[in-house]
Amino acid sequence: MSRQFTPKVVTGNRLLEGDAVWLTADDRWSTRIEDAELIEDEAHADLRLLHATSQGHVVVGAYLANALAGPNGPEPTHFREAFRTRGPSNYAHGKQVETVAPRT
Amino acid sequence: MYTYTEFDEGFVRNRVAQFRQQVQRRIDGNLTEDEFKPLRLMNGLYLQLHAYMLRVAIPYGTLNSRQMRQLAMIAERWDKGYGHFTTRQNIQYNWPKLADVPDMLDALADVGMHAIQTSGNTIRNVTADHFAGAAADEIADPRPIAELLRQWSTDHPEFQFLPRKFKIAVTGSPNDRAVTKAHDIGLRMVEQDGEPGFEVIVGGGLGRTPMIGKVIRDFLPKADLLPYVEAIVSVWNLLGRRDNKYKARIKITVHEHGIEEISRLVEQRFAEVRSAFSGIDQHVLSGIEAQFAPPAFRAVSALPATDLGGAYASWLDTNVAAHRRGDHTIVSISLKAHGETPGDASAHQMQIMADLAERYAYDELRISHEQNVILPHVPRDVLPEIYVALRNAGIATANIGLISDIIACPGMDYCALATARSIPIAQEIATRFDELKLEHEIGELKIKISGCINACGHHHVGHIGILGLDRAGVENYQITLGGDHTETAAIGERAGPGFSADEIVPAIERLVGAYLDVREGTDETFLNAYRRLGAAPFKAALYPEKEARDAA
């Protein structure tokens, strides 16, 4: 019996800034996980990751991360992914203090 | 201090120019990430959780004020106004933008610094005793040898694609402050019949398979050092397990083949290599040694009387160490203010430390593997001025060697390899013991925290080691006890099941409480009490429920 597929988002780091970004359903890279496309189908996930990997001039090291549906969009399920949405805990640096607008 | 020659300067500038082109080609889309990654790593540029990270080498931990000011300038101009000093005497910038990195490297080259070989499977930054040239217990300053090794290993054509990274540490003192027994090669200066030489230790290392290094040569004459080290790296370069990166470090090679066989192969290779060293290395070394001549120490009469009170007395007691001259001291500047990030210094603090070094302390600074900054030569009569300036900058915490002087790697707050956070645990432990006002009573106690099994935070050799792991999607902290990073090096033993982030500080508190109960007096350190009594009383304090169950 095959394992049940858990929902995923495609994520990576931007080439120029190095910050974490998530792939949206309309092929943009957003700095907010809430904007990401929540992928519920394994075959579709493979396709989206393939698409992300072809964007090597924009995003580095794309991978699939587990996520779940939240009231405002996808949310991380693992603490590592949660940290990537916020920034470090020792300083108010990174996404937790930057005014984050969706961008391509 | 060593000043770059025209050759060094040309080499470093040339590398920056090359990297500038490589970055441009990457941004233009002419290099893929697969092509670019090894190039950026050769120049110390990592990609972490939130941003790039630039790791800059501080060879053998030595800086002058101009270099420290430049590190501050780089932090302000291209980063977020601070830098993180690491356990291998490097500084890391956590927020550079890719396009800015060539400018950062040029700014480093302006002061004779670089980020070359701070990553990749090469010979890394050569580290040394942070009290080198100043320590009262030293045979000789080990830094000329460290500089010779830096020059020899930089871009060494045979050693650019080693099986894995390779780390060398040097000490000139019998009291090992450079963790030489946990390095791929550790060099400990010794004397034989009045002749200086080295005890050569090989195959030490922490990480997932911690090992204490083994002595491969009791006494190696100084003139044989470079060919002998070359022979070791050369033998390992062929034998090292390239098939499995977890078995590739020399500690595994030594473990698998045995020290006798490695020694035989190294001696054989040494016999071949030795004749190729015509003496030019010794010529270069004598030039380097001349540059490490001690400063012109001025004679100082006495420690001036002050009205600075108990905090100053406490700082003198804890942060000031014996210098080889009675009228001078070594000042350790703690980057471990309670609740702050271990090893971080703001640009302002870096500038203050640079100013103090320039004005009062012969223009020298050191970075310790314990993530503090050292003023190695301080005339006794300027201690009050230095203390006041440090206090005003928030870096006069009197806690060197105490429970809040914690080594912590960046952990999952920054590092892509981490399995849990380290920094908040260090902050919470330091804050808690500051509240308890117990740390001076507790005395010498080294807590070292790593956020993953790779052990950048040296947890294996902490008196109390803490290893952060991911247990089923939750941060979990495993405690080891009885580690030792000095000449009596030992790997700590795992105490038992790990603790959650909420439980770890109370667990450490129970552990320390048990120590205070069982110690024979204030002279018996935590480590000595552990060695006398074994793990039992400490485990009982850590796991009271189990104790109660076993008793029932």
Round the average pLDDT of chain A to a whole number and report it.
93
Would the CB atoms of B413 and A94 count as touching at under 8 Å? no
Residues of A in contact with B427 (CB under 8 A): 90
pLDDT < 50 regions, chain A? 102-104
- Out of A19, A57, A90, name the one closest to residue B50 (CB): A19
| Tokens linked to B497 | 């099941």
- CA–CA dist B422, B499 (Å, integer): 13
> What pLDDT sits at residue B48?
98
Per DSSP, the three-state class of B170 is: strand
Closest approach of B473 to chain A, Cα-based (Å): 6
- Three-state SS for B19-54 is HHHHHHHHHHCCCCHHHHHHHHHHCCEEECCCCEEE
- Provide the percentage of residues in chain B whose pLDDT is more than 70: 100
Residues of B in contact with A53 (CB under 8 A): none
| Tokens linked to B258 | 């045995």
- At a CB cut-off of 8 Å and minimum separation 6, what does B389 contact? B352, B355, B356
Residue B38 and residue B117 in contact, taking contact as beta carbons nearer than 8 Å: no
> What pLDDT sits at residue B353?
98
Q: Does B208 touch chain A (CB under 8 A)?
A: no
Would the CB atoms of B473 and A79 count as touching at under 8 Å? yes
Would the CB atoms of B423 and A89 count as touching at under 8 Å? yes
Question: Which pTM value belongs to this model?
Answer: 0.96
DSSP state of B153: H
Q: 């020659």: which residue's tokens?
A: B5
> What pLDDT sits at residue B548?
78
Residues of B in contact with A18 (CB under 8 A): 47-48, 50-52, 96-98
- CA–CA dist B387, B519 (Å, integer): 33
Would the CB atoms of B80 and A93 count as touching at under 8 Å? yes
> What pLDDT sits at residue A104?
44
The helix (run of H) or strand (run of E) holding residue B443 is: none
In our burial notation (b when 16+ CB lie closer than 10 A, e otherwise), range B504-514 reads: bbebbbbbbeb
- CA–CA dist B99, A61 (Å, integer): 18
Per DSSP, the three-state class of A67 is: strand
Q: Where are the alpha helices (DSSP H) in A1-104?
A: 42-53, 79-86
Closest approach of B426 to chain A, Cα-based (Å): 11
Q: For residue B394, which of B342, B331, B343, B345 has the smallest C-alpha distance? A: B345
Residue window 49-88, chain B: list those with CB within 8 Å of chain A.
Answer: 49-52, 80
> What pLDDT sits at residue B549?
80
- CA–CA dist B159, B149 (Å, integer): 13
Q: Chain A residue with minimal CA distance to B428?
A: A90
Would the CB atoms of B473 and A78 count as touching at under 8 Å? yes
Residues of B in contact with A19 (CB under 8 A): 50-51
Residues of B in contact with A13 (CB under 8 A): 47, 51
∠ CA(B99), CA(B102), CA(B108), 5° rounding?
140
Q: For residue B169, which of B310, B267, B260, B61 has the smallest C-alpha distance? A: B61
Q: For residue B23, which of B8, B2, B42 has the smallest C-alpha distance? A: B42
CA atoms within 13 A of residue A3's CA, in its CB half-sphere: 4
pLDDT < 70 regions, chain B? 552
> What pLDDT sits at residue A100?
54
Which tens digit of pLDDT belongs to each residue from B110-123? 999 999 999 999 99
Question: How does DSSP assign B66-89, residue by residue?
Answer: HHHHHHHHHHHHHSSSEEEE-TTS
Would the CB atoms of B51 and A94 count as touching at under 8 Å? yes
What radius of gyration do chain A's Cα atoms show? 13
| Tokens linked to B402 | 């105490």
Q: Chain B residue with minimal CA distance to A87?
A: B50
- Out of A57, A61, A90, name the one closest to residue B427 (CB): A90
- Out of A18, A77, A78, name the one closest to residue B47 (CB): A18
Residues of A in contact with B98 (CB under 8 A): 15-18
Residue B91 and residue B367 in contact, taking contact as beta carbons nearer than 8 Å: yes
